[in-house]
Amino acid sequence: MSHADQRKRVLFVCTANICRSPTAEYIARSRYGADKFHFRSAGFLAADRSCPDDLQKVLQARGLSVADHRSYKLDQDTVTAADLILTMESRHVLDATVLDRRALRKTLPLKEAAKTIRSGESIEEFLERVNADRDAQKYLSETELDVADPYKKRLKAYERAVEEIDALVTIVLDALA
């Protein structure tokens, strides 16, 4: 098995894959490299769109460039290949299961993951524990686990979203690293 095949595949998902999920992907890549994890992002809307200029400015100020990013539309193969799927909204958990019904066991909102992960857990241990008593019905109406979408809002909204995503990604991946 090659080095790349042994890495855990972490997929970040949002609505269009132009703001929140690429932010998580690029922060994760820059901070955690490619030794242990393979990071990717996707969305539910049409593919091949670039990130908004305001997001690019906010990330550039942090030393990250998403200029080469093009949105990717989530598909069944990508869902199936992922070991852990972290969504930006609760409803995205159920949206992912439309593509692969088995996805529910490995998909949860990024905020929920940050609240429930324990340091030193493997992805498998973490998912086994959270799935032991999880009720997927809450994802139909739950919004407190959502990361606010900054799209077409003021620069401050992008700054807040990037700050929040950075903090959440750090909590989850520090625990898994």
Residue type, 29: R
Provide the residue range defining the domain that includes 36: 3-176
Pair 14, 87: CB distance under 8 Å: yes
Instruction: Give the pTM.
Output: 0.95
pLDDT of 153 above 90: yes
Average model confidence (pLDDT) for the chain?
95
Element (H, E) at 14: strand 8-14
Q: What pLDDT shows up at residue 99?
A: 95
Separation between Cα atoms, residue 51 and residue 78, nearest integer Å: 21
Tell me the pLDDT tens digit for each residue of 82-108: 999 999 999 999 999 999 999 999 999
Pair 15, 149: CB distance under 8 Å: yes
Q: What pLDDT shows up at residue 5?
A: 66
Q: What pLDDT shows up at residue 102?
A: 94
Number of domains in the chain: 1
Report the CATH number that the domain containing residue 130 is assigned in CATH. Answer: 3.40.50.2300
